[in-house]
Amino acid sequence: MLDLKAIRSDPEGVLARLRRRDPTLDLGPILALDEERRELQKRVDDLRRRQNEGSERLASLKGGNPAEREALLAEMKDLAADRKAAEERLAQVEQELEARLLELPNLPHDSVPSGTKEEKIVLRTVGEPPKFDFPPRHHLELARNLGLLDMDRAAKTTGARFPMYVGQGARLELALIRWMLELHAAEHGYTPVLPPYLANRTSFFVSGQLPKFGDELYHCPTDELFLNPTAESLLANLHRDEVLEESQLPLKYAAFTPCFRREAGTYGEEQRGLIRMHQFHKVELFHYTVPERSYAALDELVGHAEAVLTKLGLHYRVSLLTAQDLAYQSAKTIDLEVWLPAQGRYYEVSSCSNCEDFQARRGNIRYRPQAGGKPRFVHTLNGSGVATSRLFAAILEQNQDPQGRVVLPPVLAELLGQEVLGSAGNPR
């Protein structure tokens, strides 16, 4: 949520930044509601003061002139009616104002370029695309032939775009999860977390999924709980309504969860295999830090996610998203995109974002500065460290051999006790 005081103090500057994200955004209704809210608050305060003065006068007239007392009682009745009407309108205006504020996305950082999704900036590429002297196979073909995935039985069990890992595929998926969680804990200083897979409405309000993106969530209405679409939604609430000490910061968490997303619509080639699923696994990284360090923390976060890809020897690129491609809660986002040879294109496997104080304002998450003064809102950052589905696909496609086998990266070969994923066949 944006700071209303900042909007009020510089409406033109805030609007200019917002319109880099969406040229149709308008602050007029918010400013009008804010003005009415402040006028109503003054009126309510004035009516309350006059009521208090009237009560004191009424007490002093006890046993005095009956006519004067009756006139004062009538005046007090009118004041009470006026105050009730003003308070009711004030509550309505405050509700409307909050709803309008919740529609506004975060302000893009000055370093974020203007432009559309297609105009993102490639900051660097790492490694070279693997060269094959044969047509590279799609990861779905490789996985089926090697008995790693059974998408047909998954569809029969649940529906389309839900995976079922089997045999060596299940072992590989679990090895990736365990290895990434240990990597971030042991080498990067994160505290591991295994959070609940469901959360309440308030949690998703704090993280930014609600109220705007409720249609994208799986909802359990009987219990008023939502399935986790990303562990960011859960980790953003770990310190909700807390005042931390500056000496505690930064706090860094790494969480493993399954993730559930409706992903409505059709995406052509992206619907094949593991590219765009309703359910997938992810190790999520999350930072709480002081505002002055948050952009250094973003660079650190990107580096931690990149470590996964470099240790696996994968070819990937790093891209800076433009303002119109930012997530609702993000002020700046850097994506890591792995190369899938069979499709000849890159796919995002990690989005690393600085949300500044946007989520902290919603969750009332503050810290007490060591130098003294009022508590300040923390800055929150999140990034995939990383999502396994597209990582799984990239490992298969970038490491395939002419026989359709997969030569495992050394770190995975050591974990699984085998260097090659060979033919195994699906379960029957």
For 189-246, what is the HEC assignment? CCEEECCCCEEEHHHHHHHCCCCCCHHHCCEECCCCEEECCCCHHHHCCCCCCCEEEH
Q: What is the CATH number of domain 4-103?
A: 1.10.287.40
Would you mind telling me the total number of residues written for the chain in this entry? 428
Per-residue pLDDT of the chain (428 residues; tens, 9 = 90+): 899 999 999 999 999 999 999 999 999 999 999 999 999 999 999 999 998 998 888 778 776 678 887 888 889 899 999 999 999 999 999 999 999 999 999 999 999 999 998 999 999 999 999 999 999 999 999 999 999 999 999 999 998 889 999 999 999 999 999 999 999 999 999 999 999 999 999 999 999 999 888 889 999 999 999 999 999 999 999 999 999 999 999 999 999 999 999 876 555 555 678 999 999 999 999 999 999 999 999 999 999 999 999 999 999 999 999 999 999 999 999 999 999 999 999 999 999 999 999 999 999 999 999 999 999 999 999 999 999 999 999 999 999 999 999 999 999 999 999 999 985 443 33
Is 137 among the residues known to form the active site?
A: no
Count Cβ neighbours within 10 Å for each residue of 366-388 and write b for 16 or more, e otherwise.
bbbeeeeeeebbbbbbbbbbbbb
Distance CA 86, CA 80 (A): 10
Distance CA 329, CA 21 (A): 12
Is 124 among the residues known to form the active site?
A: no
Is 89 among the residues known to form the active site?
A: no
Distance CA 144, CA 401 (A): 15
Q: What are phi and psi of 255, to 5 degrees?
A: -120, 140
Q: Is the backbone of residue 263 left (phi > 0), alpha (psi -120 to 50) or beta?
A: left
Choose the catalytic residue: 137, 261, 272, 362. 261
Instruction: Sort strands 243-245 and 225-227 into parallel, antiparallel or unpaired.
Output: unpaired
* Joined tokens for residue 348: 């995002």
* Joined tokens for residue 357: 């104080």
CB-based contact 274:389 (threshold 8 Å) = yes
What are the extents of the domains in the chain?
4-103, 117-421
- For CA atoms 253, 335, 203, 293, the dihedral sign is positive
CB-based contact 218:227 (threshold 8 Å) = yes
Distance CA 359, CA 357 (A): 6
CB-based contact 264:215 (threshold 8 Å) = yes
Instruction: Sort strands 191-193 and 251-260 into parallel, antiparallel or unpaired.
Output: parallel
In 3D, which of 329, 379, 377, 376 has the Cα closest to residue 351?
Answer: 329
Burial class (CB in 10 A: 0-12, 13-18, 19+), 132: middle
Quick one: pLDDT at residue 64? 67
415 Cβ partners below 8 Å, 6+ apart?
175, 178, 179
Report how far Cα 213 is from the mean position of its chain's Cα atoms.
11
Choose the catalytic residue: 348, 361, 405, 419. 348
Choose the catalytic residue: 37, 276, 362, 366. 276
Distance CA 378, CA 249 (A): 9
* Joined tokens for residue 73: 């009682």
Distance CA 20, CA 22 (A): 6
The answer to whether domain 117-421 has CATH 3.30.1330.30 is no
401 Cβ partners below 8 Å, 6+ apart?
407
pTM: 0.92
Distance CA 236, CA 210 (A): 13
In 3D, which of 280, 178, 268 has the Cα closest to residue 229?
Answer: 280
Is 368 among the residues known to form the active site?
A: no
Is 351 among the residues known to form the active site?
A: yes
55 Cβ partners below 8 Å, 6+ apart?
76
- Radius of gyration for the chain, computed over Cα atoms and rounded to the nearest angstrom: 28
Instruction: Write out pLDDT tens, residues 272-295.
Output: 789 999 999 999 999 999 999 999
392 Cβ partners below 8 Å, 6+ apart?
139, 169, 172, 173, 176, 274
CB-based contact 3:107 (threshold 8 Å) = no
Which helix (H) or strand (E) segment is 14 a member of? helix 11-21
Quick one: pLDDT at residue 293? 98
* Joined tokens for residue 192: 């591991």
DSSP summary character for residue 333 = E
Alpha helices in 61-147 (DSSP H): 66-103, 139-146
